[in-house]
A = this chain, B = another copy of it.
Amino acid sequence: MIKAGIIGGAGYTGLELIRLLLMHPEVEISVVTSRRYKGKPISDVNPHLSPFIELEYEDVDAKEIADRSDIVFVAVPHGSAMDYVPGLMARGARVIDLSADYRLKKEDYERIYKRPHKDKDKEERRAVYGLTELHPEVADADLVANPGCYPTGAILAVTPLVKEGMVKQVIFDAKSGISGAGVEPSEISHFPNLAENIIPYQVTAHRHVAEMRMELDVKVSFTPHIIPAIRGILTTAHVFLNTEETKTKPLQGQGLQGRGAEPHSEEIEGIYKQFYEGKRFIRLKKGMPSLSSVRGTNFCDIGFEIEEKSNRIVVISAIDNLIKGGSGQAIQNMNVMFGFDEGEGLWFPGLVP
């Protein structure tokens, strides 16, 4: 039984951490902070958590949180997490940061998030990028930078092909539920604006593309849209294979073997199966995934279809943005860090219908 603290427990990410950790047999929630709701019972502010949690929101400093916790989840906005992390680590807590503050190299972060990074030891901390399936080194990390929601779905969709050296370029066209935009009402989350609509935004320059490029060593573009749904991200990856190159430089392993032709479905399927073997939260689909099957789960469903007479493969992934794309993956990382079963507290089917 370990003790978990949550900094920023009133947003969707924090609330989802609470909800999931309440069902985790190895974890006790020790402290949850919120400046806005300080002193209020968590289950009064969030009636769906009644009567499962008796804690009140607190407003305490990093030092105290660290002293009361074995693991601390930092679920505050980008730019604020780095105010907490140094203090937490100085007191010996292991940390999973769900913001962007420790995901990128310092220079990339400062350029993209348009602010100086205030943690002078940022680079020395060697935060591990917590895409659990791809970074087993999470197990030994003291600081995990939990991936963004869009990067999770995008990177998982194409990594097997990229690692095989088959990919020249990818266009990620993503469709997200609105919960990714947070708990605060806004123009875009206003029901009459979003219902019966779909809203593209930051169509060439969303900040999350930096994480994708960091993890995928190919040309990457990214265009997100908000759909009228609460949860979920469907990522349509338009993958362009480097079939010219394969003519002259035969691939190893399960790859295209230099035929310069369209790949066979069986080859692609084999690549995915081998790559994700033993990864329990990746489900490879015969058909196309959709959001329904992953709603309320930590799964990433992946399917693909090869375009005839073309070097394009369409790979589609589906995740619940708040779980695999956020708090669930954070808990999956915690499980790995503390030697629990990777699926502990996360191993259940989705809410269908």
B195 near A192 with CB under 8 A, answer no
- B residues less than 8 Å from A250 (CB atoms): none
Q: Tell me the number of copies of this protein.
A: 4
- B residues less than 8 Å from A231 (CB atoms): 196, 353
Q: Does A7 sit at the interface, judged by CB under 8 A?
A: no
Please encode chain A, from 173 to 212, with 1 for each CB lying within 8 Å of some chain B CB and 0 for all others.
1010111000111110111111111111101110000000
Please encode chain A, from 317 to 328, with 1 for each CB lying within 8 Å of some chain B CB and 0 for all others.
000001000000
Interface residues of A in 303-353 (CB under 8 A from B): 305-308, 310, 312, 314, 316, 322, 348-353
Interface residues of A in 204-254 (CB under 8 A from B): 204-205, 221, 223, 225, 227-232, 234, 236, 238
Tell which of B12, B185, B193, B225 touches A175, judged by Cβ atoms closer than 8 Å. B225
Bound Cα distance from A185 to B349, whole angstroms: 23
A193 near B353 with CB under 8 A, answer yes
B307 near A229 with CB under 8 A, answer no
A36 to chain B, nearest CB (A): 14
Bound Cα distance from A15 to B285, whole angstroms: 20
The residue on B at minimum CB distance from A296 is B351
B48 near A198 with CB under 8 A, answer no
17 new A-B contacts, CB < 8 A, other than A47-B301, A191-B194, A197-B232, are: A19-B349, A22-B348, A48-B297, A52-B349, A171-B171, A175-B227, A177-B196, A189-B192, A191-B228, A195-B196, A196-B229, A196-B232, A200-B234, A200-B288, A221-B238, A223-B238, A296-B296
